[in-house]
Amino acid sequence: MLKYFIKRLINIIPVLLVVSILAFAFVHLLPGDPARMMAGEDADPATVEMLRQELGLNDPLPVQYFTYMGKVLTGDLGKSLRTDLPVYDEIALRYGPTMYLAMAGLLWSVLIGVFAGAVAAIYSGKWQDYTAMFVSVSGISIPQFWLGLLLIQLFAVYLGWLPVAGYTGKLSELVLPSITLGAMVAAIMARFTLSAFLDVLDEEYISTARAKGVRESIVMWKHAFRNALIPVITMIGLQFGFLLGGSVVVETVFAWPGLGRYMIEAVAVRDYPVLQALLLLYSFHFVFINLVVDMVYAVINPEIRYD
Amino acid sequence: MLFKRLLPLLLLALLVSSPAYAAGKDIIYASDSTAKSLDPHNTSDTYSGSIERTMLQGLMGFDTNLNIVPVLAESYSYNDTATEFTFKLRKGIKFHDGTPFNAEAVRVNIARMMTGKYKRSSLMKPVKEFKVIDDHTVKFILKEPFGAFVNAVAHPGALIVSPKALEKWGDNISKHPVGTGPYVFDEWVSGSHVRIKRNPDYWGEKAKVDSITFRPVPEGGARLAMLRAGQAQYIDPLPAELAKVAERDGKIDIIRQPSIVARYLIPNTQYKPLADVRVRQAINYALNKEAIIKIAWGGAATLLDSVIPQNLQFYSKQGAWPYDLEKAKALMKEAGYENGFKVVFLTPNASNRLRATEMIKQQLEKIGIKGNIMSMDIASFYNKLESHRVNDPDPMPFLAFGGWSASTGDADWGTRPLFSTAAFPPAMSNFGFFSDKEVDDLIQAGLSSADPQVRRAAYAKLQDVIWEKAPWGYLFVDTIVAGRLKTLKGIVPMADGGFDVQKAELIN
Amino acid sequence: MDETKTTPFGIFWHKFKKRKTAMVAGVFILLLVFTAVFAPWIAPDDPYEVDYALSMEPPSAAHLCGTDVFGRDILSRIIYGARISLAVGLTSVVIGAVVGVALGLISGFFGGFLDGLIMRTSDVLFAFPGILLAIAIVAVLGPGLINVVVAVSVFSMPTFARIVRGSTLTLKESLYVKAAKSTGASRRRIMFVHIMPGTLSGAIVYFTMRIGTSIITASSLSFLGLGAQPPTPEWGAMLAESRDYIGVADHMTLFPGIAIFLTVLFFNLFGDGLRAALDPKVK
């Protein structure tokens, strides 16, 4: 098994290489000219041309790619076309806030989501089930921007308990954005836990355990819960991957200086080096998280074999 | 069970947050924009330029209505042919780092711009030679007459940075701006905020607040909420659609300032029906501008009553194109398009522009001009417009929702890139391929002198001539709407979309 | 034994109708489909007719859900919008699900190189932010509803693949499948008869959730200028268009929001019923 994981780790490198090519091609295929966007809406043509030259945008694409990769391999992600600041610094600056928000959102949404899902499964068909369902579906179907603005109106403007928006490192600033972000994730977690639980509860070993007179709570938490975890963990991994990319909507509504908003700003002006670096980072997140998820599978259910 | 465990955590979170956000002498300025640079010579956006203007100053500058005023220069003079401009500098001024401000400091800055390597290098493009006459006098000698040169010197792209700091930081000056202004640089956390502090040694009237923090808050609803909760003292823009909410709140002043952003509909004059001036005039009669302003723009605009907005230099008011469907239909009939024709409506996808385009489509349908809307993000939009070429055998029949803000504040930059034959894409922004000999000549005439009287006459004629030829469907000029707590005085929006915080003051 | 309970459909129906909420949901969905099909006869007004004088009127007897910014009847727009939102939601998720499930099954079952290829490709797809994909799709195909379908399908695929692969990995090792293997069942038979049904419950749950998500995704895409171009009365686009007026004219967000909410809710409940009915283990 160790061999399998080492192999997987090594596999990340070619994946990232492929991603780098895709990301590069993709970003350059987007319609729009970064030089034009950098120069401003009332740009004069000489400035645009000067920028095109300086940014190397007039070189053939393969040349641009190899120049770029050459730098990346030496640890230089280039400079943001928009701000002229090093992309590495710009991303590092925004990684913290996004990570902070993602963890907070994920933490409470997984706790509540899994709890609600398990309750719904155990009390299948009863009012607890319907309540948990209704609440969780609400989480998916209320648009985030709406929820965010409603929370701001209530807790920040009307009650005055919490800051409206922004991030300066205070815990209080985290409350509203993480609730908005987590609502959707909690809903997804609840739905998944519910279905995973129901599947497991039908398995024979549960009935066997019950027949043997094992206490119901032990049946639930020890036998059922553990086995229901696999799809739930897949989902947690996926959701975390998405959250690490930064939520565009939540970061915009709450003026959160994270990666999601950065990406939107970069797309708007076609900031190639930033977009490429972000795509590499996002891909790395997913490849890495999926690797961890697969490892967790193996820990939970050692019977899964890897060829 | 889990809830029991979570509850104390949540309570703790609520306790840690302090409910009171009493305003000290720090002002929070929330805007929809993000600072992109603090290097004036390499800044292309108005917002960053305005932040720079709090710390750095130019030889000349603009007041809120874009009138040119001297700042670091005492006075200036020019020759009859608009090829030589001489500036007398103020004496006894020091940069924040103690370096004296003098002709040498100006030389270093102008030389840097003239390398052609920066986004605002174009401002110095007309310059052939820069001369230091004495310690407090400088002279620009131009390659050819360029009457609008003083505007270039007043532009935020030509702010003067401490030569010592430039030497020390090079192009990293963006993170360490040092100037002569009433505020000094404190901190810039990219994507989060820029903070400036009061300059206790300022040469002019000193600032009345300790610091100002510029924070990007992109969502309009959240910006207004910050103002209402007292967590920001000034917001820009205040979403026009939500002005009613702000009006009901007794703590807020709403500030309205006409801008220099013109909005218009660009017809592709290469497409045969749109080449006919009668059809373009019909479009102007068929557009219900007032309704578009009221509904699509939240009322935050005034009619565009010349080809350049009122706050640009040498503006001269023209007649109006009243909303008159009968006249519009008659003109369509006269042009032989009684049954109309098909077009494509191109627009950027910002919600207000999309709304405006939807209304334009609704209104033009009444004179038979029909078509679908094609909206896209702003970079794709410009890409689309710039992809067309003159003499296209199969021109796209588009009507595009255009906008222009001439950041030099001068009539030249409000007309030449948009109407001259030399400005066809890809060179500049004459996206509708409008071409007229008389217009081209008048645009040149406006540049051949620096004498305001001569220039005014040329531009008055120019505006008169273009207006009747209807190269655009004339729409409106944006009004800047900002919100300010009543406890704050002195921050005002400027017509170019920037702001002025020199006189900021908190009162109780 | 009752004759109807022996055919596969009979068994399905018997189990399905036991879930009361799923039945209610089914009726709602039928009503929705009915509304969509007969929109021109049901809608009280022309959904495209503007009247600037009636801009943003709150709900009244003349306009039950009020009017939008151009004075159009919101109720009529919602009724017409059912056509578009349902079509976009269903088609895109069906395409995403079919492709995703197949890939997940292959990936989990065969493992090795194919698994690596499919999973890493899906990692890459995950990693590409939806907005970038959307802009690229517009660039290639031009804006339009078809492209919303394409984009949303692409967004859905990798999640289906991941979910199905996860359960396939577990099921492959179950006694049940091992037993089938030992009796010499073909690989194809094991894959489709023994494993696939077991993976479907997860996929179906996600499917029903995804319909709602797709409607919301479509709305953000409409807002980006992809897909539904104004004046098309797509629900998501209506919601996005009204966003500037939250706090001033809340009815403009409220009613399309309720339409989406109910649709998502009932598709979820319906999915629960389906899941129970399709699961061979549920009696």
Is B469 among the domain residues?
A: yes
pLDDT digits (tens, 9 = 90+) for B214-230: 999 988 889 999 999 99
Is the pLDDT higher at B474 or at A269? B474
Residue C50, in any domain of the structure: no
Judgement on whether residues B385 and B328 belong to the same structural domain of the protein: yes
A246 vs B contacts (CB less than 8 Å): none
| Most confident among A6-15, A23-32, B39-48, C227-236 (mean pLDDT) | B39-48
| pLDDT, tens digit, 9 for 90 and up, residues A84-116 | 889 999 999 999 999 999 999 999 999 999 888
Domain final residue, candidates B150, B169, B188 = B169
Contact assignment for B242 to C143 by CB distance below 8 Å: no
Which phi-psi region, left, alpha or beta, contains residue B82 (left: φ > 0; alpha: ψ -120 to 50)? left
CB contact under 8 A, C139 and A191: no
**Domain CATH for C103:** 1.10.3720.10
In terms of domains, do B187 and B304 share one?
A: no
CB atoms within 10 A of CB C178: 12
Q: Residue C226 falls within a domain, yes or no?
A: yes
Residue B147 has pLDDT above 90, yes or no: no
How deeply is A49 buried, as exposed, middle or buried, from its count of CB atoms within 10 A (0-12, 13-18, 19+)?
A: middle
Residue B218 domain-assigned? yes
Q: Which residues of A touch B122 (CB under 8 A)?
A: 44, 46-47
The answer on B295 and B207 residing in a single domain is: no
Contact B127, B142 (CB under 8 A): yes
CB contact under 8 A, C142 and B221: no
CB contact under 8 Å between B17 and A37, yes or no, is: no
d(CA C242, CA C249): 8
Q: Is C9 exposed, middle or buried (0-12, 13-18, 19+ CB in 10 A)?
A: exposed
Question: Which residue of A32, A47, A157 is in closest CB contact with B380?
Answer: A32
Contact C240 B351 (CB under 8 A): yes
Position C223 confidence tier, pLDDT thresholds 50, 70, 90: low
Cβ pair B476, B293 in contact under 8 A: yes
Given B169, B190, B205, the domain boundary residue is B169
Would you mind telling me the total number of residues written for chain B in this entry?
508
C window 142-181, beta carbon within 8 A of A: 159, 162-163, 166-167, 169-170, 173
Query: Do both B181 and B107 map to the same domain?
Result: no
Question: Six-digit token pair at C222?
Answer: 């409409």
Q: What is the pLDDT of residues C105-123, one digit of tens each?
A: 999 888 888 888 888 788 7
**Å from B114 to nearest chain A CA?**
12
- Report CA-CA distances (Å) from B47 to A50, A270, B179: 23, 19, 18
Other CB atoms within 10 Å distance of the CB of residue C187: 10
Residues B349 and B216 in one domain: no
For C:98-127, CB contacts with A below 8 A are 111-112, 116, 119-120, 123-124, 126-127
Q: How far is B217 from chain A (nearest CA, A)?
A: 5
Output the domain CATH number for residue B100. 3.90.76.10
The gap from C-alpha B438 to its chain's centroid, in whole angstroms, comes to 28
Of B419, B431, B425, nearest in space to B308 by CA? B419
C206: number of CA atoms within 13 Å, CB side?
Answer: 27
Q: Which of B314, B315, B295, B296 is nearest to B305 (CA)?
A: B315
Measure CB to CB from residue C170 to each of A26, A141, A230 and give the nearest one: A230
Token pair for A305: 């074999």
Give the angle subtended at the CA of A113 by the CAs of A107 and A115, to the nearest 5°.
105
Place of tokens 């319909």: C211
Confidence check: pLDDT of C231 > 70 = yes
In this prediction, residue B15 carries a pLDDT of: 41
Q: For position B241, which CATH number holds?
A: 3.40.190.10
In Å, the largest CA–CA distance within chain B is 86
What is the Cα–Cα distance from B237 to B33, expressed in whole angstroms?
9
- Interface subset of C 227-266, CB within 8 angstroms of A: 239, 243, 246-247, 253, 257, 260-261, 264-265
Q: Distance (Å, rounded) from C-alpha A195 to C-alpha A193?
A: 6
> Do the chains contact at B376 and C245, CB–CB below 8 Å?
no
**Predicted local distance difference test score (pLDDT) of residue A90:** 92
Test B295 with C52 for CB contact under 8 angstroms: yes
Confidence band of B388 (pLDDT split at 50, 70, 90) = very high
* Mean pLDDT of chain C, nearest integer: 83
Taking residues B71-89, what's their average pLDDT?
Answer: 94
Q: How many domains are there within chain B?
A: 3
pLDDT the model gives residue B14 = 42
Top residue of A1, A164, A199, A250 to mutate, by most chain C CBs within 10 Å, is A199
Average pLDDT over chain A reads 83
Q: Quick one: C33 exposed, middle or buried, by C-beta within 10 A (0-12, 13-18, 19+)?
A: middle
Cβ-contact C152, C207 below 8 angstroms:
no
Distance CA(B391)–CA(C103), nearest Å, equals: 50
A202 and chain C in contact, CB less than 8 A: yes
Closest CA to B180 of B125, B237, B101: B101
Pick the residue with more confidence: C202 or B248? B248
Residues B234 and B299 in one domain: no
Residue C54 counted as domain residue: no
Counting as contact any 3 or more CB pairs under 8 A, the partners of A are B, C
Q: C124 pLDDT band (50/70/90 cuts)?
A: confident
Given A146, A245, A286, which is nearest C253 (Cβ)?
A: A146
Task: Specify if C53 maps to a domain.
Answer: no
Range of the domain at C208: 10-43+66-278
Query: Which of the four pLDDT bands, split at 50, 70 and 90, describes residue B20?
Result: very low
Q: Domain ends where: B151, B169, B187? A: B169
Indicate whether A143 pLDDT > 80.
no
Q: Is the pLDDT of residue B22 over 50?
A: no
Q: Which residues of A fall within a CB distance of 8 Å from B169?
A: none
Q: Dihedral of CA B203/B204/B207/B211: which sign?
A: negative
Report pLDDT digits (tens) over C248-269. Answer: 888 998 898 889 888 888 887 7
B428, burial (CB in 10 Å: exposed 0-12, middle 13-18, buried 19+): buried
Q: Which residue of B has its CA nearest to A269?
A: B379
CB-based contact, C279 to chain A, within 8 Å: yes
Considering the domain architecture, whether residues B400 and B282 belong to the same structural domain is answered as yes
Q: How far apart are CA A163 and CA B230, in angstroms?
A: 10
Task: Please tell me the predicted confidence (pLDDT) of residue C272.
Answer: 72
Host H or E run for residue B255: strand B252-267
Q: Is B78 helix (H, G, I), strand (E, B) or coil?
A: strand
Does the pLDDT at position A153 exceed 50? yes
Computed over every residue of chain B, the mean pLDDT equals: 91
Cis peptide bond prior to B237, omega within 30° of 0: yes
First to last CA, chain C: 15
Contacts of A230 in chain C (CB under 8 A): 166-167, 170
Do B497 and B372 fall within a single domain? no
In DSSP terms, B235 is beta-bridged to B30, B483
Q: Any chain C CB within 8 A of the CB of B374?
A: yes
How many A×C Cβ pairs under 8 Å? 139
Q: How far apart are CA A216 and CA B258, in angstroms?
A: 72
Query: Strands B26-31 and B234-236, how do they pair?
Result: parallel
End-to-end CA distance of chain A: 9
The string over B231-254, giving b where at least 16 C-beta atoms fall within 10 Å of a residue's C-beta and e elsewhere, is bbbbbbbbbbbbbebbeeeeebee
Report the C-alpha gap between A61 and B256 in whole angstroms: 47
Q: Are the beta carbons of A134 and C265 separated by less than 8 Å?
A: yes
pLDDT score of C179? 84
Q: What's phi and psi for B251, nearest 5 deg? A: -90, -5
* CATH code where residue B334 lies: 3.10.105.10
The whole-angstrom separation of Cα A157 and Cα B325 is 47
Q: What is the pTM of this model?
A: 0.87
pLDDT over 60 (residue A176): yes
Tell me: cis bond preceding C231? Omega within 30 of 0 counts: yes
Chain A residues with beta carbon closer than 8 angstroms to that of B225: 149, 152-153, 156-157, 164-165
In a domain, C188, yes or no: yes
Mean pLDDT of A152-172: 87
Would you call A279 and C128 a contact, using CB atoms and an 8 Å cutoff?
yes
Q: Is C164 inside a domain boundary? A: yes
For residues B54 and B160, state if they share a domain: yes
Q: Select the residue of C112, C162, C209 nearest A140 (Cβ to Cβ).
A: C209
Sign of CA dihedral A101, A106, A108, A113: positive
The tokens for C86 are 């349902």
Rounded CA-CA distance B326/B98 in Å is 69
Q: Model confidence at A1, in pLDDT bands (50, 70, 90)?
A: low
Is residue A71 over pLDDT 60?
A: yes
Domain span at residue B410 reads: 258-479
**B425 to chain C, minimum CA–CA distance in Å?**
20
β-bridge pairing B60-62 and B68-70: antiparallel
Tell me phi and psi for residue C254, to 5 degrees. -60, -50
Q: What are B447's two structure tokens?
A: 């540049």
Optimal mutation site among B227, B242, B347, B354, interface C, most CBs of chain C within 10 A: B354
| pLDDT tens-digit series, residues C64-114 | 999 999 999 999 999 999 998 888 888 999 999 999 999 999 998 888 888
Cα C37 to Cα C31: distance, rounded to the nearest angstrom: 10
| Contact between A304 and C170 using a beta-carbon 8 Å cutoff | yes
Q: Does the CA dihedral A164-A243-A103-A85 come out positive or negative?
A: negative
Segment B413-462, tens digit of pLDDT? 999 999 999 999 888 899 999 999 999 999 999 988 888 899 999 999 99
Task: Tell me which DSSP letter residue B240 carries.
Answer: G
Task: Indicate if the pLDDT at residue C189 is higher than 70.
Answer: yes
Residue of chain A whose Cα is closest to the Cα of B425: A45
Position A41 confidence tier, pLDDT thresholds 50, 70, 90? low
Instruction: Residue A248: name the closest of C130, C59, C150 by CA.
Output: C130
Which of B180, B166, B205 is CA-nearest to residue B94? B180
Minimal CA–CA distance to B222: which of B238, B233, B204?
B238
Domain for residue C48, yes or no? no
Q: Are C141 and C230 in contact (CB under 8 A)?
A: no
Picking from C123, C213, C216, the nearest residue to A287 by CB comes out as: C123
Q: Are B297 and B352 in contact (CB under 8 A)?
A: yes
CB-CB under 8 Å, A146 with C261: no
Q: Can you read off the two tokens belonging to residue A306?
A: 């890897």
- The chains found to touch C (3+ Cβ pairs under 8 angstroms) are A, B
pLDDT at B58: 96
CB within 8 Å of C242: residues ≥ 6 apart: C68, C69, C249, C252, C253, C256
For residue B301, the SS3 value is strand
Q: C219, C84 in Cβ contact below 8 A?
A: no
CB A197 within 8 A of CB A224: yes
Contact C259, C78 (CB under 8 A): yes
The answer to whether residue C220 is domain-embedded is yes
How many domains, in total, are found in chain C? 1
Predicted-complex ipTM score: 0.84
Nearest-Cα distance to chain A for B497, in Å, is: 13
Q: Of the candidates B450, B394, B385, which has an alpha carbon nearest to the alpha carbon of residue B417?
A: B385
Residue B468 makes CB contacts below 8 A (sequence gap 6+) with none
* Separation in Å, CA of C50 to nearest CA in chain A: 26
Q: pLDDT, tens digit, for every residue of C25-71?
A: 899 999 999 999 999 999 999 999 999 999 999 999 999 999 999 99
Sign of the dihedral defined by the CA atoms of residues B255, B258, B260, B264, in that order: positive
Task: Please identify which residue in the block is written with the tokens 């002709």.
Answer: B103
Looking at the fold, whether B232 and B100 belong to one and the same domain comes out as no
SS3 category, A245 = coil
Strand pairing class (B234-236; B73-78) = unpaired
Residue C224: what pLDDT?
59
